[in-house]
Amino acid sequence: MAKAPQHAISPTREEDYAEWYQQVVRAADMAETSPVRGCMVIKPWGYTLWENIQKNIDRLFKDTGHTNAYFPLFIPKSFMEKEAEHVEGFAKECAVVTHHRLEAGPDGGLVPAGELEEPLIVRPTSETIIGAMYAKWVQSYRDLPILINQWANVVRWELRTRLFLRTAEFLWQEGHTAHETAEEAWVETRKMLDVYADFAENYLAMPVLKGQKTPNQRFPGAVETLCIEAMMQDRKSLQSGTSHFLGQNFAKASGIIYQSREGREEYAWTTSWGTSTRLIGGAIMTHGDDDGMVMPPRLAPAHVVILPIFRKETERDASLEYAEGIARDLRKLSTPWGGPVEVIVDRRDMNAGEKGWEWVKKGAPVRVEVGPRDIEKNAVFVARRDLGPKEKYGQGRDDFIAALPALLKEMQDNLFNRALRYREENTRDIDTLEDFRAFFTPKNAERPEIHGGYAMSHWCGDEACEEAITKELSVTIRCIPFDREKSGPGKCFVCGKDSPGRVPFAKAY
Binding site for a copy of itself (CB under 8 A): 34-36, 39-44, 47-48, 50-51, 67-77, 79-81, 87, 91-103, 109-112, 114, 119-122, 129, 132-133, 148, 152-153, 155, 157, 169, 171
Under 8 Å between Cβ of 145 and 131: no
DSSP state of 92: G
Q: Judged by CB, which is closer to a copy of itself: 14, or 103?
A: 103
Closest separation between CB of residue 47 and a copy of itself, Å?
5
Bridge partners (DSSP) of residue 76 are: 120
* CA 45 to chain CA mean position, Å: 16
Buried b (16+ CB within 10 A) or exposed e, 330-348: beebebbeeeebbbebbee
Minimum separation from the CB atom of position 479 to a copy of itself (A): 29
CB of 3 to a copy of itself, least distance (A): 24
Closest CA relative to residue 412, chosen from 380, 366, 367, 468: 366
Using DSSP's 3-state secondary structure scheme, residue 71 falls into coil
Nearest distance from C-beta of residue 76 to a copy of itself, angstroms: 6
Backbone angles phi, psi at 43, to 5 degrees: -85, 165
- Nearest Cα neighbor of 30 from 55, 14, 11, 51 is 51
Whose Cβ is closer to a copy of itself: residue 67's or residue 378's? Answer: 67
Residue number with CB closer to a copy of itself (67 or 334)? 67
In angstroms, the CA 204 to CA 282 distance is 9
Q: How far is the CB of 259 from a copy of itself (least distance, A)?
A: 17
Smallest separation, CB 258 to a copy of itself (Å): 17
Quote the least distance from Cβ 390 to a copy of itself, whole Å. 29
Nearer to a copy of itself, 364 or 380 (CB): 364
The SS3 call for residue 68 is: strand
For a copy of itself, the closer CB: 152 or 408:
152
Nearer to a copy of itself, 94 or 503 (CB): 94
Q: Nearest approach, Cβ of 382 to a copy of itself (angstroms)? A: 26
Residue 11 vs 72, nearer CB to a copy of itself: 72
> In the bound complex, what is the minimum distance in angstroms from residue 410's beta carbon to a copy of itself?
29
210-50-422 Cα angle (round to 5): 40
Whichever of 142 and 447 has its CB closer to a copy of itself, that residue is 142
Nearer to a copy of itself, 148 or 375 (CB): 148
Q: Which is nearer to a copy of itself, 160 or 471 (CB)?
A: 160
Least distance in angstroms from the C-beta of 75 to a copy of itself:
7
CB of 309 to a copy of itself, least distance (A): 20
Alpha-carbon dihedral sign for residues 468, 474, 480, 481: negative
Q: What is the 3-state secondary structure (H, E, C) of 125-191?
A: CCHHHHHHHHHHHCCEHHHCCEEEEEEEEEECCCCCCECCCECCEEEEEEEEEEECCHHHHHHHHHH
Q: Which residue from 439, 88, 95, 140 is spatially nearest to 268, judged by alpha carbons? A: 140
Closer residue to a copy of itself (CB): 338 or 376: 338
We find the least distance from the C-beta atom of residue 58 to a copy of itself, in angstroms, to be: 9
DSSP string, 203-246: TS----EEEE--GGGS-TT-SEEEEEEEE-TTS-EEEEEEEEE-
**Half-sphere exposure (Cβ direction) of 175: Cα atoms closer than 13 Å:** 33
User: Residue 6, SS3?
Assistant: coil
**How far is residue 238's CA from residue 257's CA, in Å, rounded to a whole number?**
37
Helix (H, G, I), strand (E, B) or coil at 259: strand
Residue 286 and residue 229: Cα distance in Å, rounded? 12
**The one-letter amino acid at 375:** I
Considering beta carbons, is residue 153 or 470 the nearer one to a copy of itself?
153
Which residues lie below 8 Å from residue 14, measured CB to CB, with a gap of 6+? 447, 449
Cβ proximity to a copy of itself, 40 vs 366, nearer residue: 40
Q: Which of 63, 320, 59, 278 is nearest to 161 (CA)?
A: 278
- Taking the complex as a whole, the smallest distance from the CB of residue 107 to a copy of itself amounts, in Å, to 13
Distances (CA, A) of 261 to 92, 140, 143, 180, 186: 42, 8, 12, 10, 20
